[in-house]
């Protein structure tokens, strides 16, 4: 059998299949053709030497914002995908019913990286910074349900940001409507937490098994960890109920102290995602591989963090075809150089923690084709220049 591409000699880390070892990965006609030791190089049209590097399934980022040019938050997917190994982006509610057709045309169809979506309950989506759920006229469940039915091939869930600014005087009513919508279309609901009210205990009553609580390591008012370092009882209730705990690092939603307390209590996040957007891409998030490095610094193992950025987010969005290197699967592959070094990593309050390794992406393949490195857009006019301390963190970003 002939191969279009053979990635040789890398340390394959494929948690979905329980694989970790020196293996070759072969691609034919856009899918994984074989994974094994010493595959025949003469059968390959292109050979890539991955010795000394790790080879993983393409990363699946469960929380992103990539509706560039039409929203306050959005960046472009492909330029970042090419340097990070992220081959599947789940845009977390950037588009609502009013803006979803253009999201499909100018984002989903325009990027080579796979872009899936959570539909925002608010028909206006994230055109502005916040407040999208404060006007209940934007929260039209029937219109949102019709939008899901028109785009079911790419809409895999519903999104609602539930915090003090977003809902304003509407309280829990937007979340009740989001619950109604998710049940009506039989898709999971992702809920963003941060400032209160509403408070975490109120939010939790409307979450079900398979739903996603994002920003699970936030240090803000609705933190899953109390000021004494103890896990909030509601956090354990959510885990027991089957709610998926997602990191969603972002620009203000990741605390090393909270994450460390959760890991100490055995409550590892189910998914590690970036919440990459116009602000967080400038630091201290930077990208998903940097977020994975933060959890390695907290003591998680390489297979644990790779699982939470591949097969686990794929399962959360009910896409079992993604996040693994099984024969016959789409040839979405990431290659990383693992750099061991003395490092400094920062959370969103710019609290630092020493790091030990970085994952530096050297190649990203989508359907067996390498994604070329592309220039990234300049920050939008409303994005302020990074502070001096943020500029200092960029020295350590790698």
Other CB atoms within a 10 A radius of the CB of residue 51 amount to 9
Whether cis (ω within 30° of 0) applies to the bond prior to 197 is yes
| Per-residue pLDDT at 396 exceeds 60 | no
pLDDT of residue 395: 44
238-279 residue pLDDT tens: 999 999 999 999 999 999 999 999 999 999 999 999 999 999
Other CB atoms within a 10 A radius of the CB of residue 331 amount to 25
Strand partners, 191: 160, 213
127-181 residue pLDDT tens: 999 999 999 999 999 999 999 999 999 999 999 999 999 999 999 999 999 999 9
CA 225/CA 244 separation, integer angstroms: 16
**Confidence label for 227 from pLDDT (cuts 50, 70 and 90):** confident
Q: Residue 326 domain-assigned? A: no
Whether cis (ω within 30° of 0) applies to the bond prior to 90 is no
Q: Residue 134 domain-assigned? A: yes
| Per-residue pLDDT at 390 exceeds 90 | no
Q: Residue 295 domain-assigned? A: yes
Pairing of strands 31-36, 19-28: antiparallel
| Per-residue pLDDT at 388 exceeds 80 | no
Q: Residue 381 domain-assigned? A: no
| Per-residue pLDDT at 391 exceeds 60 | no
Domain that holds residue 232: 59-316
Tell me which residue of 244, 246, 254 sits closest to 285, measured CA to CA.
254
Q: Residue 173 domain-assigned? A: yes
pLDDT of residue 43: 81
Distance of alpha carbon 397 from the chain centroid: 19
Tell me which residue of 217, 218, 188 sits closest to 118, measured CA to CA.
188
| Per-residue pLDDT at 389 exceeds 60 | no
315: left (phi over 0), alpha (psi -120 to 50) or beta: alpha
| Per-residue pLDDT at 394 exceeds 90 | no
User: In total, how many domains does the chain have?
Assistant: 1
40-73 residue pLDDT tens: 988 899 999 999 999 999 999 999 999 999 999 9
Q: Residue 362 domain-assigned? A: no
Strand boundaries in 367-396, DSSP class E = 369-370
Q: Residue 387 domain-assigned? A: no
| Per-residue pLDDT at 398 exceeds 50 | no
Q: Residue 327 domain-assigned? A: no
| Per-residue pLDDT at 397 exceeds 50 | no
Q: What is the CATH number of the domain that holds 114?
A: 3.20.20.140
């Amino acid at each position: 059998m002939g191969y279009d591409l053979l990635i040789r000699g890398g340390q394959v880390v494929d948690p979905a299949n329980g694989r970790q070892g020196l293996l070759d990965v072969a691609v034919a006609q856009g899918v994984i053709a074989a994974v094994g030791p010493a595959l025949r190089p003469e059968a390959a049209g292109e050979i890539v030497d991955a010795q000394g590097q790790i080879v993983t399934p393409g990363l699946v980022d469960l929380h992103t914002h990539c509706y560039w040019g039409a929203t306050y938050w959005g960046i472009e997917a492909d330029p970042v995908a090419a340097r990070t190994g992220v081959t599947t982006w789940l845009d977390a509610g950037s588009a609502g019913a009013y803006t979803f057709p253009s999201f499909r045309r100018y984002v989903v169809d325009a990027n080579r990286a796979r872009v899936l979506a959570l539909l925002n309950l608010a028909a206006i989506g994230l055109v502005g910074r916040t407040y999208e759920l404060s006007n209940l006229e934007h929260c039209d469940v029937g219109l949102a349900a019709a939008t899901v039915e028109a785009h079911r091939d790419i809409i895999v869930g519903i999104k609602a940001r539930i915090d003090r600014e977003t809902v304003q005087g509407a309280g829990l009513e937007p979340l009740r409507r989001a619950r109604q919508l998710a049940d009506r279309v039989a898709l999971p609901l992702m809920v963003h937490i941060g400032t209160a009210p509403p408070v975490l205990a109120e939010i939790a009553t409307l979450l079900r098994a398979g739903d996603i609580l994002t920003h699970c390591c936030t240090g803000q008012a609705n933190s899953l960890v109390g000021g004494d370092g103890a896990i909030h009882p509601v956090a354990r209730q959510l885990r027991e109920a089957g709610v998926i705990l997602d990191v969603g690092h972002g620009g203000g939603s990741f605390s090393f102290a909270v994450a460390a307390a959760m890991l100490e209590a055995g409550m590892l996040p189910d998914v590690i995602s970036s919440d990459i957007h116009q602000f967080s891409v400038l630091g201290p998030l930077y990208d998903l591989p940097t977020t994975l490095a933060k959890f390695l610094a907290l003591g998680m193992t390489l297979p644990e963090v790779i699982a939470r950025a591949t097969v686990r987010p794929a399962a959360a969005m009910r896409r079992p075809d993604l996040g693994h290197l099984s024969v016959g699967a789409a040839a979405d592959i990431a290659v990383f150089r693992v750099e061991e070094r003395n490092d400094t990593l920062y959370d969103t309050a710019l609290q630092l923690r020493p790091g030990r390794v970085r994952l530096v992406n050297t190649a990203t393949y989508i359907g067996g084709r390498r994604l070329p490195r592309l220039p990234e857009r300049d920050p939008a006019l409303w994005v302020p220049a990074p502070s001096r301390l943020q500029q200092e963190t960029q020295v350590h970003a790698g």
